[in-house]
Amino acid sequence: MTNKPCVGIDVSKKFLDVYVEGDQESTRVANNPEGIAQLVEQMKMVEPKLIAMEATGGYERRAAKAFSEAGFPVAIVNPTRVRRFAQAIGVLAKTDKIDAKMIARYARVADPEPNYRQDPILEQLAACTERRRQLVTQLTAEKNRLSTTPDCVLEDVQEHIDFLVRKIEAIEANIQSLISQQPELRAKAEIIDSIPGIGIVTASTLVAEFPELGTINRQKIAALAGLAPFNKDSGAKKGKRKIFGGRAAIRAPLYMAAMSAAKHNPVIKPFYQSLIKRGKLEKVAFTACMRKLLVIANALVRKGEAWQFSPQ
């Protein structure tokens, strides 16, 4: 164990419960600018190895940003993994104080990489892509209602659909504007977009949600996306491999891209067909295609080269 402690913070809408390794008890501050400023000053004295916080639907962002701007390494960790870690070491009780301590212990054992975005453009891109997903979900729901909507409200539903379409187009234009502001992001998006089957929406999502793209190996990139299949074998029993965890936000657009690539991409198409011939379920085959597309994108971004296909 290094001299520098890990810090675990359990986040709620109103409070931040903070546990510093080596302390007897956790402390609590308000999850507001004043409480966060107080906590930043405390961290300057602690000099932590890592500040770990669970993803809590956005309530962690303000504190994470403040820590990052103050120069502290910040990791946003998966709540499910922290909870299973606690259960594995026999801690079944769950309170805010206990959770803060478990997050700190998880950070020490798992040693996650600092992963909070510091780039304001990337933060805005992530917010815009998330908002686009929300609008698309609403649009899909409204379109599904059309076939069963009574005539008296049909016009209202159609007007809402038209409104949502305009909002989605506007936010997509905003995403492109943000990407164009940074040559590095624009070049990355153009490289990803050059891959047959991947469109600008998927490329933009990958740029926003996957800043690691092009910087790590294929195994890690697949695991981060939640597309790496895990074995489930025991003795003579060979269980089905399944994917788990990762960044769900990128899997929906990647799935649509895989469906297109299975028809038009000269590398993905034969790969998909070979999987189907071997008896793989269509969903399993598309998942494998998603993983292969992501690996290709990762390799091209690392090289700084657009898609080029040379048949053997």
Distances (CA, A) of 170 to 121, 163, 166, 188: 17, 11, 6, 22
Q: Are residues 135 and 160 in the same domain?
A: yes
> Where is the domain boundary, 56, 79, 110?
110
Q: Are residues 167 and 188 in the same domain?
A: yes
Can you tell me the distance from the alpha carbon of 101 to that of 20, in angstroms, rounded to the nearest whole number? Answer: 8
User: 58-70 pLDDT, tens per residue?
Assistant: 889 899 989 988 9
Can you tell me the distance from the alpha carbon of 117 to that of 60, in angstroms, rounded to the nearest whole number? Answer: 13
Q: Are residues 168 and 295 in the same domain?
A: yes
Q: Are residues 129 and 97 in the same domain?
A: no
Domain membership flag for residue 56: yes
If one counts the domains in the chain, the total is: 2
165: domain range?
121-234+245-303
Q: Are residues 127 and 99 in the same domain?
A: no
Q: Are residues 146 and 272 in the same domain?
A: yes
Interior CA angle at 215 toward 212 and 217, to 5°?
100
pLDDT string in tens for the chain (312-residue length): 458 999 999 999 999 999 999 898 899 999 999 999 999 999 999 999 999 999 887 889 899 989 988 999 999 988 888 999 999 999 998 999 999 999 999 999 999 888 776 678 888 888 898 899 999 999 999 999 988 889 899 999 999 999 999 999 999 999 999 999 889 999 999 999 999 999 888 998 888 888 888 888 888 888 878 876 655 555 665 656 565 566 777 888 889 999 999 999 999 999 999 999 999 889 889 989 999 999 999 999 999 998 987 665
Domain membership flag for residue 66: yes
Q: Are residues 45 and 127 in the same domain?
A: no
Domain membership flag for residue 115: no
Domain membership flag for residue 269: yes
> Where is the domain boundary, 75, 110, 145?
110
Q: Are residues 44 and 146 in the same domain?
A: no
Instruction: Report the pLDDT value the prediction gives residue 243, as an integer from 0 to 100.
Output: 57
Domain membership flag for residue 192: yes
> Where is the domain boundary, 91, 110, 129?
110
Can you tell me the distance from the alpha carbon of 152 to that of 158, in angstroms, rounded to the nearest whole number? Answer: 12
User: 235-275 pLDDT, tens per residue?
Assistant: 665 656 565 566 777 888 889 999 999 999 999 999 999 99
Can you tell me the distance from the alpha carbon of 196 to that of 65, in angstroms, rounded to the nearest whole number? Answer: 36
Q: Are residues 149 and 257 in the same domain?
A: yes
Under 8 Å CB-to-CB from 3, ≥6 apart: which residues?
none
Domain membership flag for residue 170: yes
Q: Are residues 220 and 100 in the same domain?
A: no
Q: Are residues 152 and 103 in the same domain?
A: no
What is the domain-level CATH number for residue 61? 3.30.420.10
Domain membership flag for residue 239: no
pTM, whole model, 2 decimals? 0.73
Q: Are residues 106 and 224 in the same domain?
A: no
Domain membership flag for residue 249: yes
